[in-house]
A and B are shown apart, each in its own frame.
Chain A
Amino acid sequence: MKSILKYSALVAAAVGMTASVAQAEDITVVSWGGAYTQSQVKAYHQPWMANTGNVINSEDYSGGLAEVRAQTEAGNVTWDLLDVTMSDAIAGCDEGIFEAVDHDALLAAAPDGTKPTGDFLEGSLGECFIPQIVYSTVWAYSKKAFPDGGPQNIMDVFDLEKFPGKRALQKSPLYNLEWALMADGVPSDQVYDVLETEEGVERAFAKLDTIKDQVVWWTAGAQPPQLMADGEVVVGTAYNGRWFSAIAEEKQPFEMIWYGQALDLDGWAILKGGSKKDTVKDFLKFATDTQRLADQAKYISYGPARKSSAPLVGKHAELGIDMGPHMPTNPDNMTEAFMTNFDFWADNKDELNERFQAWIAG
Chain B
Amino acid sequence: MALPTYASPLERVWYYTFRGICGLIFLFLIMPILIIMPLSFNVEPYFSFTEGMLSLDPDAYSLRWYRDILENGMANPAAMGGEWWSDMWNNAQWVRAIRNSFYIGFFATLISTVLGTIAALGLSRPNMPYRNLIMGILISPMIVPLIISAAAMYFFYSSAGLAQTDLGVILAHAVLGTPFVVITVTATLVGFDHSLTRAAASMGASPPRTFFKVILPLITPGVISGALFAFITSFDEVVAVLFLGGLEQRTIPRQMWSGIREQISPTILAVATLLVLISIALLTVLELLRRRNERIRGMTPQ
Contacts and interface: CB of A to CB of B under 8 A. Distances in A.
Interface of A: 33, 59-61, 67, 70-71, 73-74, 76, 78, 219-223, 226
Given A59-B247, A60-B247, A226 B263 contact: yes
A222 B263 CA distance: 7
Contact of A70 (B155, B246, B261, B264): B155
A328 B261 CA distance: 27
Nearest to B243: A66
A223 B259 CA distance: 11
B90 to A, nearest CB: 16
A67 B162 CA distance: 12
A74 B246 contact: no
5 contacts: A67-B158, A73-B159, A220-B261, A223-B262, A226-B264
Shortest beta-carbon contacts, A-B, top 7: A70-B158, A74-B159, A222-B262, A76-B161, A220-B262, A60-B247, A222-B263
Contacts, number: 38
B263 A70 contact: no
B247 A33 contact: yes
A33 B247 CA distance: 10
Chain B interface size, as a band, is 10 to 19
Interface of B: 154-155, 158-161, 163-164, 246-247, 261-264
Residue with the highest number of chain B CB atoms closer than 10 Å, among A74, A221, A223:
A74
Nearest to B163: A70
Contact of A73 (B158, B247, B263): B158
Residue with the highest number of chain B CB atoms closer than 10 Å, among A59, A70, A71:
A70
A222 B262 CA distance: 5
Given A59-B246, A70-B155, A70-B163, 5 more contacts: A67-B164, A74-B158, A74-B160, A221-B262, A222-B262
Nearest to A68: B158
A61 B161 CA distance: 17
Nearest to A71: B158
Contacts of A61: 246-247
Contacts of B264: 226
Nearest to A60: B247
Contacts of B247: 33, 59-61
A74 B161 contact: yes
A281 B158 CA distance: 27
Contacts of B159: 70, 73-74, 76
Nearest to B261: A220
Residue with the highest number of chain A CB atoms closer than 10 Å, among B155, B158, B164, B263:
B158
Contacts of A76: 158-159, 161
Given A33-B247, A59-B247, A67-B163, A219 B261 contact: yes
Contacts of A222: 262-263
